[in-house]
Amino acid sequence: MNRLDLFFPGMASLPNLHPLFVHFPIAFFFGALVMEGVAIFYDEKCHLVASWMLYLGAVSAVMALATGFIAESSLAVADPRGHDSPGHDYIHIHRAWMVASTLLGVLTAGYLFWINYKKMWATHYFRLLIGLMLLSLVVSMGADRGGRLVFEFGTGVKPSLLKDTDHNDLHDNGDKDDHH
């Protein structure tokens, strides 16, 4: 038994590193939105906290996206059913939302950096707040699809634990709420 198995048996059982990174951008992006709102409506000093949360969110989103691509590749190899595996269509939907949220997060962080560098926050804070709200919406859509992959289909948990679902039902409507 190696030290990872001894001290972190949960981490040792992970099929890939993606689960270790996914929660950081979600928390940082939503935190940036909340803190920016507090900065606008209550105390301007919170803008510095919002800025760092957005910057850290953008960096962690890039890391989560990179590990997500690796996870997608490892899942394709691990499940012998390949494209017929339950929830497979949701991997593509989740990936599209998370690529969009990562790009939007990096662009919003770049915009914020420019605003802070030029010391123009007072004239741009409303646009920044709208951008953070849009970012939070896109992240929510992608995280919802990722949660469904794990909690409904068991994707990435263990291929032997994936539940049987009629694959044709998923192709008819990717957002179907029926549970098989």
Q: What is the pLDDT of residues 88-143, one digit of tens each?
A: 788 889 999 999 999 999 999 999 999 999 998 888 889 999 999 999 999 999 99
- Helix residue ranges per DSSP H, the chain: 3-7, 9-12, 18-21, 23-41, 46-78, 88-117, 121-151, 167-172
What is the pLDDT confidence band of residue 164, given thresholds at 50, 70 and 90? low
Cβ-based neighbour number of residue 1 at 10 Å: 7
pLDDT: which is higher, 78 or 147: 147
Q: pLDDT by residue (tens digit) across 151-161?
A: 887 777 665 55
b/e string for 72-83 if b means 16 or more Cβ within 10 A? beebeebbeeee
Q: How far apart are the first and last CA of the chain?
A: 38
Verdict on whether the full-model pTM lies above 0.75: yes
